A and B are shown apart, each in its own frame.
Chain A
Amino acid sequence: MSVNPQESRAALAESSRRRFLFKLGAALSVVAASLIGIPVIGFVLSSFRRRGPSESWISLGAIESFPAGQTRLATYRNPYTRPWDGATGDIPCWVRHIEGEKFQVFAINCTHLGCPVRWFQESALFMCPCHGGAFYENGSRASGPPPRGLYQYDYKIENNQLLIKGGQLPTLSQPV
């Protein structure tokens, strides 16, 4: 009779010790896992939010290389590239020199789903090879599924150079 309470006390002590150890272990693991997990998730999602400006002024060359009244393909090296980007860092665009210092610089991407539009001087149309979108010389929508005219870069002329503001893939929710 005198042993029983002692035993049960011991059992109680052990079970509360077990419970404490379990709780301690679980809490420690949760804290440690979060300490590991937070930077991992932060790493993975780091490109979800953009940091810093993704656009800057880029030179397309001297304005003489774009004769007035013509639309020509120009390419530029994207301002933000990695050493292993290779040719994917070279971005094309269409430059239309209207006259004097009046230009229009169109993104290559069709406003429908981003395929590269081609310029046809004879019919003065941009045609898209994917889903049949067509645009007029001034970039406005001519026919097909595109919901709007071609994306246009902001441009300026400095020291006889044609500069455009670019650096990211244009999409409907974020035109150039």
Chain B
Amino acid sequence: MLRKIALWIDDRVHLSKLYASTAGHHVPKNAESWFYVFGSGTLLCFILQVVTGTCLAFVYVPAANEAYTSLEYLNYHQQLGWLLRAMHNWGSNFMVGIMILHVAQVFLFGAFKYPREMTWISGVVLLLCTLGMAFTGQILRFDQDAYWGLGIGAAMMGRVPVIGPDLVHLMLAGPIIAGETLSRFFTLHVFIIPGTIIALVSLHLRLVLTKGINEYPVPGKAVVKATYEQEYENLVKKEGVPFFPKAISKDLIFSGVVMLGILGCALYFGPEGPHGVPDPTQIDTIPKPDFFFLWLYALLALLPDYLETILILTVPVIGIGLLFALPFISGTGEKSARRRPVAVLAVLMIFLTVGTLNQLGTYSPWSPHMTAWSAEQTPVKYIEGRSPLELQGALVLQYKQCRNCHSLGGSGGLRGPALDGVATRLTGDELTRQVIQGGGNMPAYGKNLNSSEVAALVAFMKTLRGPNEPPARNSTSPEQPTKTQ
């Protein structure tokens, strides 16, 4: 009886035919590898994001005056709201992370080469969409970071020549960051980008079915357009296995680990923010993007100012253009990473650069520490046994906010050099000149310090050296000509 019902359903819905052409399609046996789990992992994260995001949308209010309150409500009042917010946040972290591994893997395995150009290209658009989701999602967590993040976005748009002001207006949906800006990002985050992702994932998966999953590359076996598709067909015929249930095991294990990872992180770390009400008049804030964009935040602090506008406007275009062009630049030939040193180096370099910039972004050494001057202690060893003038100098150093950029005894800003041991590097005259005229990256304090303050400050800084370190001295000393016998 059950069998009859099953057969009837299959006859009407064509399930077994659907199975044979999709989940049951044959893949090369060597594609059954741990390296091939990141694509399905990214898709799993996306599905989880849709589920948790839909749940959050039941409560979230996309209006500038209520969004923050509704996030707090989700955190503290809504049953399990905190967990859903945490899972959505960690889901996005996992999604971006696993997607990047997926991109690196298909790049290193030459999967973008003939005949899978379109798979790669749709993947590049998916990569951009996912980063778009990460950015817009951060805006929906409508707090101070979101507000000033929008400000940073607008400031970048404002650098575009000619249509800059119009682009800013289009992005903000008005003259300032306000209610309609949030509505705009809500629409992007909830309708437009996810819709595009669903459409593109369909294409991406369809291409995996029609053009086949990339076989595990063998060093020395180059892709030749004339013969590749026949070879691939033979390979699948000879040693192909159905994706389900044979080749899917590792994907399933990875899926389980990813879900447990997201749940575990959500339970342990809890939801992210919201940090501070999105009220622009609360200016005691240090806006920072989420980790996906910290590298960009760092880069923008470190670029020389004369290059900045040019790089902001051209690098994304060139970079994205290169990603799209990749399968056409290098569409055939060697696939194995063992025979593609430049590709391996490129990946390593990108990972190292982005990783380093991200690491710098976490403590942003280029930013003044806004409260260092009033909050950090002056180390006792720099005060002990000092003359009144030097002690006065220590006060000037504190009071004039030098500590916001210069650290002393390991605390204070990192924008300028640490002042411990400054007397071994600069003489009294040089210190005076530097304080009054500034230079390098230091503002000039000449107008803002009177001569006795400068004298005290320099007297104090001249004491900043270790017990056995000689003070800096001029290479020539005109006042004391060397004695000649």
Contact = CB atoms under 8 A, between A and B. Distances in A.
Indicate whether A and B interact.
yes
Interface of A: 45, 47-50, 54, 73, 75, 78, 80-82, 84-92, 108-109, 112-118, 120, 122-125, 127-132, 134, 136-137, 142-147, 167-169, 171-174
A123 B400 contact: yes
A85 B280 contact: no
Contact of B179 (A82, A91, A120, A171): A82
B176 A171 contact: no
B57 interface: no
Contacts of A171: 154-155, 157-159, 164-165, 168
B179 A169 contact: no
A109 B155 contact: yes
A124 B309 contact: no
Interface string B442-483: 111101100000000000000000000000000000000000
A108 B175 contact: no
B152 A130 contact: yes
Contact of A168 (B63, B155, B176, B441): B176
- A54, A78, A87, A90, most chain B CB atoms within 10 A: A87
Given A113-B156, A115-B152, A132 B164 contact: no
B397 to A, nearest CB: 11
The 7 closest A-B pairs by CB, nearest first: A171-B158, A86-B65, A173-B164, A142-B443, A168-B175, A114-B151, A131-B301
Contacts of B151: 109, 113-115, 169
Contacts of B401: 120, 122-123, 125
- Chain B interface residue number, banded: 35 or more
Given A129-B285, A169-B177, A173-B164, 14 more contacts: A50-B175, A73-B281, A80-B176, A87-B64, A88-B147, A108-B280, A108-B283, A115-B287, A116-B285, A137-B448, A147-B308, A169-B154, A173-B158, A173-B160
Contact of A49 (B155, B166, B285, B373): B166
A87 B366 CA distance: 30
B170 A45 contact: yes
A85 B443 contact: no
A73 B63 CA distance: 27
B131 interface: no
B445 A87 contact: no
B64 to A, nearest CB: 5
A116 B145 CA distance: 11
20 contacts: A75-B281, A78-B178, A80-B174, A82-B180, A84-B179, A86-B64, A87-B64, A87-B280, A87-B281, A118-B283, A122-B399, A123-B445, A123-B448, A127-B370, A130-B364, A132-B368, A134-B368, A167-B176, A171-B155, A172-B158
